Amino acid sequence: MKEKKNIVFIAQSLDGYIADKNGGLEWLEAIPNPENKDHGYAELMSEVDAMIMGRKTFETVLGFSIEWPYKIPVFVLSNSLKEIPVALEGKIQLLNGSPKEIVAKIHEQNHNCLYIDGGNTIQRFLVAELIDELRITTLPVLLGGGFSLFGSLIEPIDFDHIKTEVFLDQMVQSHYRRRK
């Protein structure tokens, strides 16, 4: 059985935004990637058992008008959604509650290594001390405003740097583990 671990894998601007002032994500596509390299995503997917995302991220993914992109079980956090699209039955489950309750429910289903996605969800899980690893890819643009990856905390949280790689000469990806 895998170690219980919650991982954030996300891209930010140099000034720490994950979406621009209009909620847009086009800036993520600004760096030419002719060979369609994946920058650690396949590695992440080979490690995690399931994914947690907030409602807004869920709706963003649905808005892409692509086939549902996740092969692992996805848990969508929402207090308002009551049913899931028929096409996604068996692929997603709705959950609500505190981050601790949510993680406990998912562990009960024997999913231990979890990919945590979505700005609000990441911030809630950080506050609850439930993020074990950060894998952050920084793109070389100052957006000057938008939705921040990180929010306020009562107390600082220390991490240890694990590794840093540069992709496509432009994107700096650093992995950090929470110090315990």
Q: Which residues bind a second copy (CB under 8 A)?
A: 13-16, 20, 27, 30, 126, 134, 136, 138, 140-145, 149-161, 164, 166, 169-172, 174, 176
Expressed in angstroms, the distance from the first to the final Cα of the chain is: 22
90's CB contacts (< 8 A; 6+ apart) are: none
- 85 or 151, CB closer to a second copy? 151
- The single-letter DSSP state of residue 43 is H
**From CA 179, how far away is CA 160, in angstroms rounded?**
6
Other C-beta atoms lying within 10 Å of the C-beta of residue 58 = 22
- 85 or 145, CB closer to a second copy? 145
Kindly state the smallest distance separating residue 172's Cβ from a second copy, in Å. Answer: 5
- 108 or 169, CB closer to a second copy? 169
**From CA 23, how far away is CA 26, in angstroms rounded?**
10
CB 9 within 8 A of CB 44: yes
- 74 or 122, CB closer to a second copy? 122
Kindly state the smallest distance separating residue 41's Cβ from a second copy, in Å. Answer: 20
Q: Please, what is the Cα angle at 128 between 123 and 130, to 5 degrees? A: 85
Look at residue 4 and give its three-state secondary structure: coil
Kindly state the smallest distance separating residue 81's Cβ from a second copy, in Å. Answer: 30
Kindly state the smallest distance separating residue 79's Cβ from a second copy, in Å. Answer: 25
- 104 or 166, CB closer to a second copy? 166
Kindly state the smallest distance separating residue 13's Cβ from a second copy, in Å. Answer: 8
**From CA 27, how far away is CA 138, in angstroms rounded?**
12
